Structure 1
Amino acid sequence: MNSDPDSSALEGHVPRGARLTLEVWHPDCWTLEMTEKTDAGLIAHTVYNAADGKVKGHFTVYGDSFESIDALIEATRESELTSSVAEMQRRYEFEHRGPTPGNTTKELFVEYDPRNTISDGLVSQGFLQDAPVRIRDGLEYWSVFVDETDRDTLNERLDAIRTEYDAEVSVTKIYSHESRSADIPRRVDTLSERQREIYELACEHDYYAWPREITTRELADEAGLAKTTLLEHLRKAEAKLLNPNDDVESL
């Protein structure tokens, strides 16, 4: 991962009141270690500092099979970076907030040392969490809001976090809250994990640019999918982004 701020998305203009996506790695983090060593991923929902000095968090673990998510849960229980791990009963109201990634999921309640999380560092530098944190393949993806418009100041704040936590932090996306489509980035959080990956791959390769910079066939090859499968993922992702009130079946 490239953590050099001069090569990040902050090279361009930073709009006033922006939503950033940060790609983060830092040492001694159980979520990063578990998702790197297993085929499952995590979504961090509610995390808070308890009176006993521990951090307590609600996580969704997801994967393509029960074997993959059970492997992550077992590894989390055995990790020296966690104090306790409990599977939670799925709540009806939580289950219907939006599509869940992967083919299967479980809910976890995990306790761990607050020194091994970067959330306080982000808040102290003015980066406010704007959506659940997604963790996959040993990386955290934070959606944060920042009201700072000076690019140099933002880079200084990111450098402070990198130094304090021995972290690697890259800005992968910047969204303006002032644009007419400012609610589109929020809708991305309603996509399934696979839909999100394919949609972001299409954006990365300027599939939606005019003129288009990549053909559908080339994008399918890049994703390792058949053309019809790629188009089905994109169709459903686009339907959710453009028509948020429609009930579109997840892939």
Structure 2
Amino acid sequence: MATTETADEYPPAGACLTLEIWHPNCWTLEVTEATEASLLAHTVYNATDGRVKGHFTAYGDSLAAVTDLIDATRSSPLTDSVVVMQRRYGFDEAGSVPGNAARELFVEYDPTNTISDALASEGFIQESAVRIRNGTEYWSVFVGDTDRDRLHDRLETVREKGSAEITVAKITTHDAFNTETPGRVALLSTRQRDVFELACEHNYYAWPREITTRELAEKADVSKTTLLEHLRKAEAKLLDPAIEEVSQPL
């Protein structure tokens, strides 16, 4: 007897968007506009006093540029505290950002000056680390809706809530009945995707990291150098906002 498959057996239909965002009173936008370094925003931890502590990577073409950004972050009236982790100058095992120098930061600040709550309230789910450079945030988000008019209305609501300027740099539809990989993961080679998914499976990108690069290379049955090459190429495709971005009238 033939069985009838229901919609619940399929992944939800939706859209993957790359958003370029500016909004007022944001320390990340101010410090990246004022210096020659950039930021990656990873994870946010809620504090008991209502503040949040975010994990960021500051990176740039030189140590001086990264230091300038850290100094600007510390002096910003929009931040409460800045802790710099004593690790990672230049390229090392992490290999997840461009540039020649990088430092890990924990920054405590007021969450009311972020755009994340406004995005989440309209159903936009963050898919990867947010890249901030030259005074602009680059968000990769998923939303369970494919109707252009409704998406336009949702983004208008976010703009109003955050007094934000939002440009849709790229939009792709994720069809519930389409088995192709949506979004930027489709840009990866088979080997890059296998290694990247293995790294995610073993919490290589967790903080603190739960597996070393050498251990991950052994699981992937490749040398550490080869593993890092695959990961760096995959991360560049997944995180670089300049890749295959086409402005959309949304």
Same fold (TM over 0.5): yes
TM-score bucket of the superposed structures, by smaller chain: 0.5 to 0.7
Which residue of structure 1 lines up, in the alignment, with residue 146 of structure 2?
A: 149
Q: Alignment partner of 2:41: what SS?
A: strand
1:159: how far off?
0.7
Q: Alignment partner of 1:180: what SS?
A: coil
Residue from 39, 48, 73 that aligns with 2:36: 39
Contact kept in structure 2, 1:99 and 1:192, CA below 8 Å: no
What is the letter of the counterpart of residue 67 of structure 1?
A
Summarize the Cα distance change of 1:44–1:122 in structure 2 as closer, same or farther, 3 Å threshold.
same
Contact kept in structure 1, 2:138 and 2:241, CA below 8 Å: no
Relative to the length of structure 2, the TM-score reads: 0.67
Q: Alignment partner of 2:157: what SS?
A: helix
Q: Alignment partner of 2:28: what SS?
A: helix
Summarize the Cα distance change of 1:69–1:101 in structure 2 as closer, same or farther, 3 Å threshold.
same
Q: Alignment partner of 1:34: what SS?
A: helix
Which residue of structure 1 lines up, in the alignment, with residue 180 of structure 2?
A: 180
Which residue of structure 1 lines up, in the alignment, with residue 156 of structure 2?
A: 159
Q: Aligned equivalents of 1:30 and 1:185: distance in 2?
A: 32
Summarize the Cα distance change of 1:185–1:138 in structure 2 as closer, same or farther, 3 Å threshold.
farther
Q: Aligned equivalents of 2:148 and 2:237: distance in 1?
A: 32
Which residue of structure 1 lines up, in the alignment, with residue 13 of structure 2?
A: 16
Q: Aligned equivalents of 1:18 and 1:32: distance in 2?
A: 26
Deviations 1:19-47 (A, max 9, x none): 11111000000000000010000000001
Which residue of structure 1 lines up, in the alignment, with residue 107 of structure 2?
A: 110
In structure 2, list runs of 5 or more residues that go unmatched.
1-11, 194-232
Summarize the Cα distance change of 1:28–1:89 in structure 2 as closer, same or farther, 3 Å threshold.
same
Summarize the Cα distance change of 1:189–1:131 in structure 2 as closer, same or farther, 3 Å threshold.
farther
Which residue of structure 2 lines up, in the alignment, with residue 61 of structure 1?
A: 58
Correspondence 1:132 to 2:177: no
Q: Aligned equivalents of 1:101 and 1:192: distance in 2?
A: 12
Q: Aligned equivalents of 2:42 and 2:104: distance in 1?
A: 10
Same amino acid, percent of matched pairs:
56
Summarize the Cα distance change of 1:60–1:76 in structure 2 as closer, same or farther, 3 Å threshold.
same
What is the letter of the counterpart of residue 164 of structure 2?
A
Which residue of structure 2 lines up, in the alignment, with residue 119 of structure 1?
A: 116
What is the letter of the counterpart of residue 159 of structure 1?
E
1:98: how far off?
4.9
What is the letter of the counterpart of residue 235 of structure 2?
T
Which residue of structure 2 lines up, in the alignment, with residue 83 of structure 1?
A: 80
What is the letter of the counterpart of residue 50 of structure 1?
A
Residue from 178, 191, 202 that aligns with 2:236: 191
1:175: how far off?
2.5
- Aligned length, in residue pairs: 185
Q: What is the RMSD of the two structures over their aligned residues, measured on CA atoms?
A: 2.7
Mean Cα deviation higher: 183-192 or 77-86 = 183-192
Q: Alignment partner of 1:190: what SS?
A: helix
Q: Aligned equivalents of 1:82 and 1:44: distance in 2?
A: 15
Q: Alignment partner of 1:20: what SS?
A: strand
Q: Aligned equivalents of 1:130 and 1:49: distance in 2?
A: 19
